[in-house]
Amino acid sequence: MKQGVVEKVSGPLVVAQGLLDAKMYDVVLVSDHRLVGEVIELRGEKASIQVYEETGGLGPGEPVYSTGAPLSVELGPGLIESIYDGIQRPLDAIRAATGDLIHRGVSAPALNREKKWEFVPTAKIGTEVHGGDVLGTVQETDLVAQKIMVPPGVEGTLAALEQGSFTVEEPIGAVKTADGSELALLLMHRWPVRRSRPYVRKISPSMPLVTGQRVIDAFFPLGKGGTGCVPGPFGSGKTVIQHQLAKWADADIIVYVGCGERGNEMTDVLMEFPELVDPKSGKPLIRRTVLIANTSNMPVAAREASVYTGITIAEYFRDMGYSVAVMADSTSRWAEAMREMSGRLEEMPGEEGYPAYLGTRIAEFYERAGRVICAGSEGREGALSVVGAVSPPGGDLSDPVVQATLRVVKVFWSLEDKLAYKRHFPAINWLTSYSLYTRNLDSHLRETLGDEWIAMRDAAIALLQKEAELEEIARLVGVESLSAGDRLILETARSIREDFLHQNAFHEEDTYTSLDKQKALLSLIMHLDGRMKEALERKVDPLVLFAVKVRERIARAKFMPERDLGAVLAIKDEIDQEVDGLIASVTADILPTTAEKT
């Protein structure tokens, strides 16, 4: 191992002299504590290193060892249900080894070295194999079967492959490469986090990532393989949305990256996910989840790495042909970590002190999402969706991180503090948010929910827009001076907001709504709207009409269990009965003779 010498220590930045063979992004070990660091700048004989652990107590003259390899993650069985820090150190194993507090210089392998996995081969010995070809499977949890693939870049003839139980380091077979040498195949391999894993080609998303969150699925859907962002001021609900997505999104694998946020939020996931069951499989949600936790008080450089660690693990599962979703909370903390390192390197600052390459880094990150034809001869299709929270100062959307993100992502869920103050959750502003996937996903939705769903949804969105205009007028002249028809628009729009869009993440029924139930709920509101329009035309008194009792039934419908969908739909009959009754009474008033007769 080549050795250099520390020259300068300034926070997480260490400058070393004499690391002659170091390459950019190589991992080095600093001092005899062997603190992990990464070369981020090379100038003559000097290498600038960002250190992923606390640097207190380091000083000039201490040794720096180069490893000659870039920052990489271990990929193989054992990832699921793990919780890692930003550079894939297993936090549970570290706790077992060193106690409740994280001390520096501790290391533990990311994947358990002792555990044996049952490997069932599917590839045939003697065939030509390439990177991405499936060799066999390991049932990792009852929800996830890992496909063990030929690592990217490896090709040749499959010389051996065995069934049996193996640790991640024991050979399961071998490939004879073109030069005649034999390469052992293991259950695990490594991949550098800053390089995206290869795939054949990208295709555009056409299936919705169903999240069970009504405002998202109905109004601003995310495609499988798509990208979205959730910007908003503190306390507006970014984390709750990310948690809801991690819980209920119909992805096969979830990678949740807690990047520079609160420790308790990770604990929340750790304690809650084993208890929650996946609506599809009935199994605990944790069995499809990988957690990366580099909380705000953990070293800032490892925070910078955490999003890359997360997305690389996600790409690995995507390569197996799975639909994977990555939540990154919060990408602003990642950007701030970049800014801090850049400042210490005394780089020329761009906007708000962020480095000039901020936009490029953000774009590169989101570009790793996508629906793809995976590497390998099978032509598997995989999808990697990414949702990033953004935490702009003061909630100001002109923030460089928000702006750079909006340039690349296709879905914008804009959280507004005014809505959060009113406890309208999710506080997604229905007027300013957008999804650029809507059109691509509609053909699928037409098939599953029918044309009427699209029509109903568009009508609902139009009503909300109309509401905003009418509210302006009403503020000036008073609601009373609006026409009855306009007041109906206000009534229906309020109902859409309160009875459909408003969704309580902490209510056992309300927390998740299937698409079928979403359609049923919206159809009740729109049905009432249609019937009321009719009643107004038939001269029913608006004040009486707007006070119909069935309103309350509609308001409570979202709390009815999924299995009672029939009962939800049956509320339509109550609507008809009540409105018919009102229409009939008016008709009776106008034609008293008929009424007398009956």
Partner 1 sequence: MIKEYLTTSEVVGPLMLVEQVQGVKYEELVEIELPSGEIRRGKVLEVDQDRALIQLFEGSWGVDVPNSRVRFLGRGIEIGVSPDILGRAFDGQGRPVDGGPELIPDARLDINGSPINPCARDYPSEFIQTGFSCIDGLNTLVRGQKLPIFSGSGLPHPQMAAQIARQAKVLGKTESFAVVFAAMGITFEEADYFLSDFRRTGAIERAVLFLNLANDPAIERISTPRMALTVAEYLAFQLDMHVLVILTDMTNYCEALREISAARKEVPGRRGYPGYLYTDLATIYERAGRIKGKKGSITQIPVLSMPEDDKTHPIADLTGYITEGQIIMSRQMHKRGIYPPVDVMQSLSRLKDKGIGDGKTREDHSDGFNQLFAAYARGKEAHELAVILGEAALSELDGAYFRFSDEFEERYIQQGTEEDRTIVETLDLGWELLRTLPASEMKRVRERFLKKYFLQEAE
Burial 62-92 (b: 16+ CB within 10 A, else e): bbbbbeeebbbbbbbbbbbbbbbbbbbbbbe
Of 231-260, which residues contact ligand ATP (CB under 6 A)?
232, 234-240
Of 79-98, which residues contact partner 1 (CB under 8 A)?
83, 91-92, 94-95
User: CB-wise, 206 or 504, nearer to ligand ATP?
Assistant: 504
365 lies in the binding site for ligand ATP (CB under 6 A): no
Residues that bind Mg ion (CB under 5 A): 238-239
d(CA 64, CA 292): 27
Burial 319-347 (b: 16+ CB within 10 A, else e): bbbbbbbbbbbbbbbbbbbbbbbbebbee
Closest distance to Mg ion from the beta carbon of 394 (Å)? 16
Closest distance to partner 1 from the beta carbon of 91 (Å)? 5
Closest distance to Mg ion from the beta carbon of 506 (Å)? 15
User: CB-wise, 211 or 309, nearer to ligand ATP?
Assistant: 211
Answer for the pair 305, 193: CB distance below 8 angstroms, yes or no. Answer: yes
353 lies in the binding site for partner 1 (CB under 8 A): yes
* Of 367, 364, 381, nearest in space to 410 by CA: 367
User: CB-wise, 306 or 385, nearer to partner 1?
Assistant: 306
Closest distance to Mg ion from the beta carbon of 411 (Å)? 18
43 lies in the binding site for partner 1 (CB under 8 A): no
Closest distance to Mg ion from the beta carbon of 89 (Å)? 23
Among 267, 398, 465, 594, binds partner 1 (CB under 8 A): 267
User: CB-wise, 86 or 225, nearer to Mg ion?
Assistant: 86
Among 23, 24, 69, 103, binds partner 1 (CB under 8 A): 103
Instruction: Count the Cβ atoms, other than its own, within 10 Å of residue 301.
Output: 28
d(CA 11, CA 21): 25
The size of the interface with ligand ATP (CB under 6 A), counted in residues, is 16
Closest distance to ligand ATP from the beta carbon of 233 (Å)? 7
425 lies in the binding site for ligand ATP (CB under 6 A): yes
Closest distance to partner 1 from the beta carbon of 79 (Å)? 16
d(CA 536, CA 543): 11
User: CB-wise, 126 or 485, nearer to partner 1?
Assistant: 485
User: CB-wise, 171 or 395, nearer to partner 1?
Assistant: 395
Answer for the pair 159, 181: CB distance below 8 angstroms, yes or no. Answer: no
- Binding at 232: pick from Mg ion, ligand ATP, partner 1, none (beta carbon under 5-8 Å per type): ligand ATP
d(CA 63, CA 53): 16
241: tokens are: 């949305």
Closest distance to ligand ATP from the beta carbon of 262 (Å)? 7
Question: Which amino acid type is present at position 575?
Answer: I
Closest distance to Mg ion from the beta carbon of 257 (Å)? 13
Give me the torsion for CA of 265, 267, 270, 276, rounded to 10°.
Answer: -60
Answer for the pair 251, 369: CB distance below 8 angstroms, yes or no. Answer: no
User: CB-wise, 132 or 258, nearer to partner 1?
Assistant: 258
Of 501-560, which residues contact ligand ATP (CB under 6 A)?
503-506
421 lies in the binding site for ligand ATP (CB under 6 A): no
Burial class (CB in 10 A: 0-12, 13-18, 19+), 543: exposed
- Binding at 503: pick from partner 1, Mg ion, ligand ATP, none (beta carbon under 5-8 Å per type): ligand ATP
Q: Which residue has the tokens 């400042």?
A: 343
The DSSP code sequence of 82-98 is: -EE-TT--BHHHHHHHH
Instruction: Count the Cβ atoms, other than its own, within 10 Å of residue 393.
Output: 13
461: tokens are: 């969105």
- Binding at 338: pick from ligand ATP, Mg ion, partner 1, none (beta carbon under 5-8 Å per type): none
Closest distance to Mg ion from the beta carbon of 353 (Å)? 23
Candidate segments 171-179, 314-322, 414-422, 566-574, binder of partner 1 by CB under 8 A: 414-422
Among 64, 148, 300, 415, binds partner 1 (CB under 8 A): 300
d(CA 399, CA 281): 41
* Of 488, 478, 492, nearest in space to 523 by CA: 492
391 lies in the binding site for ligand ATP (CB under 6 A): yes
- Tell me which residues touch ligand ATP (CB under 6 A): 232, 234-240, 261, 391, 425-426, 503-506
